[in-house]
């Protein structure tokens, strides 16, 4: 519509700002709303030649991405007054492609849990149950998910170390793409784990996610993890459904691996997974195949080995740990655990990680092209790509999602499968009702009334 002159970037920005003004008191999705800057950027976009699908599109940016001249807090005492001198590489690339930053979104403190204040008071709610703060909105990219689901932004950015893109996408009926480690630069993003942090988009469907990742991805001199990798394929084409005549078919012949127990049972989630598999199996060119769990799966993906990520968390923050533990708020335990983990344990964990990667590639991806996931952690350990997307709802109207995992740099294959599935389903088109206007305007519960996470809660939930 913008390209064809049917809509101006300023009109679009004003529409989103109006929703933010009305409903943000309930959702509490943002730390900072950049209304004046967004309007100025929209006016400038309206005067420029159209630059592509992100031209004039308003986005929400997670508050651990550096934004030049705009406070970037990571919901932490440590960064409460931090104003970066430049944009994170991913933000700079989105803006270079014409996107407009509406604001910075709430997140788990230092990217550990669902969005809370540094001392654990719950802030952001699930857009589907805004009056029930106890409903999990997903973390730690909570504010981005709620802003997109609640139609306060078109799409947004997140980071994933232990499910922080796929979990809020599943919780709020979105399509979230965690790319392969190195696909998107981490330069200018407040770190949680050097080998597990993955920047990526939270969007409404596969095509939007592809548009976002296309802009964000690519080599960056400021991040060696991005260098020397396979080229970024045409993700937007991959996320475009393919038809033979009127019949939908897979873009590539694709084996979807099904792990043991994935759809067992009669719960709402199990029934949604069964229906998802049945629908995918009817798409021409897609074949379901049973895939065994790799050898010693529970051991290699369990807490003992997963916790070797914690020294990577502590290492860049050692000066802060030595100076004042109070700066870490309710999430301090994870940083202390990382500081106290021994070098022998860390090295053993790295060897276990290589063994796990070898077994996933040899024992899973020798049999399939993509694989269903019951949780994000194993592929987060390995830096492999994943996509979370909606597959149904509970009887109470809460979204149900699932996750597909892919081989290294196979984001295009993941997008193609989800795009085909979304071409024959409408879950991704469904939107939550607006909060009651009176609640939104006059009776929003303050953060302290929404509950609180304790230090023990954070340890149990942390990414």
Which residues are catalytic, by number?
62, 140, 164
Residues 143, 30: Cα–Cα separation, whole Å = 6
Residues 440, 211: Cα–Cα separation, whole Å = 32
Tokens 């196979």 belong to residue: 410
Q: Which two tokens stand for residue 426?
A: 């409408």
Residues in the chain: 463
As a whole number of Å, the end-to-end CA separation of the chain is: 39
152 near 27, Cβ under 8 Å? Answer: yes
316 near 191, Cβ under 8 Å? Answer: yes
Angle at 208 between CA 107 and CA 380, to 5 degrees: 50
Tokens 């550096």 belong to residue: 66
Residues 74, 333: Cα–Cα separation, whole Å = 17
Give the chain's count of helices (H) and strands (E): 18, 12
> Exposed (0-12), middle (13-18) or buried (19+): which is 48, by Cβ within 10 Å?
exposed
| Nearest alpha-carbon partner for 156 in 114, 109, 215, 196 | 215
- Residue 393 β-bridge partners: 399
Question: Beta strand pairing status for 247-258 and 242-244?
Answer: antiparallel
Residues 440, 433: Cα–Cα separation, whole Å = 12
Question: Beta strand pairing status for 175-178 and 100-105?
Answer: unpaired
| Nearest alpha-carbon partner for 60 in 188, 158, 129, 128 | 158
């Amino acid at each position: 519509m913008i390209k064809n002159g049917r809509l101006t970037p300023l009109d679009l920005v004003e529409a989103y700002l109006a929703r933010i003004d009305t409903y943000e008191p309930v959702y509490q999705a943002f730390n900072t709303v950049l209304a004046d800057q967004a309007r100025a950027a929209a006016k400038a976009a309206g005067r420029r030649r159209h630059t592509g699908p992100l031209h004039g599109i308003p986005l929400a940016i997670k508050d651990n991405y550096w934004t030049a001249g705009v406070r970037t807090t990571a919901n932490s005492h440590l960064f409460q007054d931090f104003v970066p001198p430049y944009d994170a590489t991913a933000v700079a690339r989105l803006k270079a492609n014409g996107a407009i930053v509406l604001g910075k979104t709430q997140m788990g403190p230092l990217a550990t849990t669902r969005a809370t204040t540094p001392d654990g008071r719950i802030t952001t709610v699930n857009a589907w149950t805004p009056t029930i703060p106890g409903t999990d909105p997903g973390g730690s990219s909570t504010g981005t998910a709620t802003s997109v689901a609640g139609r306060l932004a078109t799409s947004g950015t997140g980071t994933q170390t232990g499910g922080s893109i796929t979990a809020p996408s599943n919780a709020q009926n979105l399509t979230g793409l965690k790319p392969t480690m190195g696909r998107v630069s981490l330069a200018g993003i407040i770190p949680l784990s050097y080998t597990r942090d993955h920047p990526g988009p939270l969007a409404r469907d596969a095509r939007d996610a592809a548009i976002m990742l296309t802009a964000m991805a690519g080599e960056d001199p400021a991040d060696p993890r991005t260098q020397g990798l396979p080229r970024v394929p045409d993700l937007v084409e991959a996320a475009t459904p393919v038809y033979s005549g009127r019949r939908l078919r897979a873009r590539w012949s694709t084996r979807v691996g099904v792990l043991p127990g994935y759809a067992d049972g009669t719960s709402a989630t199990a029934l949604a997974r069964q229906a998802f598999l049945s629908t995918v199996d009817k798409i021409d060119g897609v074949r379901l195949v049973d895939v065994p769990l790799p050898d010693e799966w529970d051991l290699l993906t369990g807490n003992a080995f997963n916790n070797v990520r914690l020294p990577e968390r502590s290492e860049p923050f050692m000066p802060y740990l030595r100076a004042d533990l109070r700066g870490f708020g309710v999430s301090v335990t994870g940083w202390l655990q990382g500081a106290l983990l021994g070098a022998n344990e860390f090295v053993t964990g790295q060897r276990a990680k290589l063994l796990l990667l070898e077994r996933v590639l040899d024992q899973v991806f020798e049999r399939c092209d993509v694989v269903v996931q019951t949780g994000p952690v194993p592929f987060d350990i390995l830096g492999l790509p994943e996509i979370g997307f909606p597959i149904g709802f509970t009887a109470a109207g809460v979204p149900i999602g699932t996750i597909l995992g892919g081989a290294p740099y196979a984001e295009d294959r993941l997008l193609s499968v989800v795009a085909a599935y979304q071409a024959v389903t409408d879950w991704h088109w469904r939107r939550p009702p607006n909060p009651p206007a009176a609640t939104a305007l006059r009776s929003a519960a303050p953060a302290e009334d929404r509950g609180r996470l304790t230090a023990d809660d954070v340890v149990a939930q942390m990414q």
